[in-house]
Amino acid sequence: MNEAQEHIIGLEEQLRLAMLSADVDALDRLIAPDLLFTTHMGQIIGKQQDLDMHRSGLLKFRAIEAGERIVAAHGPVGVISARMNLVGSFGESQFNLDLRCTRTWRQADDGQWQILAGHMSIA
């Protein structure tokens, strides 16, 4: 694994920890303002919707485990595909999901890396 790929893995770990702790400030830094994220149910959400779900407690994670990671990184863009096991709740509904997640990271002009796009599907 090269340095750029390892950097993307590090960003993914920051994201995982922020999601587990509902750290909205960290999520705000890690998510691009123009995020396009497609959920495993085909819904498209943006940054504000994502942050609001964490801030309100509507979406809570108890465990996030990544495996089968494949990373491609070139210059200011990186893409990761990973198999994810997500355990938590959405409102009153509990979930334990085995999903495939693809995220596109980009480095902004200020050097900050953020998620520009993501997609989840049933693994």
Domain boundaries in the chain? 3-122
Please report which confidence band the pLDDT of residue 107 belongs to, taking 50, 70 and 90 as the band edges.
very high
- Say if CB 58 and CB 91 are below 8 A apart: yes
The pLDDT value recorded for residue 98 is: 96
Distance (Å, rounded) from C-alpha 123 to C-alpha 117? 19
Nearest CA to 74 out of 106, 120, 115, 100 is that of 106
Residues listed for the chain: 123
Mean pLDDT value across the chain: 95
The pLDDT value recorded for residue 2 is: 85
Q: Which CATH number fits domain 3-122: 3.40.50.2000, 3.10.450.50, 3.30.559.10, 3.80.10.10?
A: 3.10.450.50
What average pLDDT score do residues 67-73 get?
Answer: 94
What average pLDDT score do residues 92-110 get?
Answer: 95
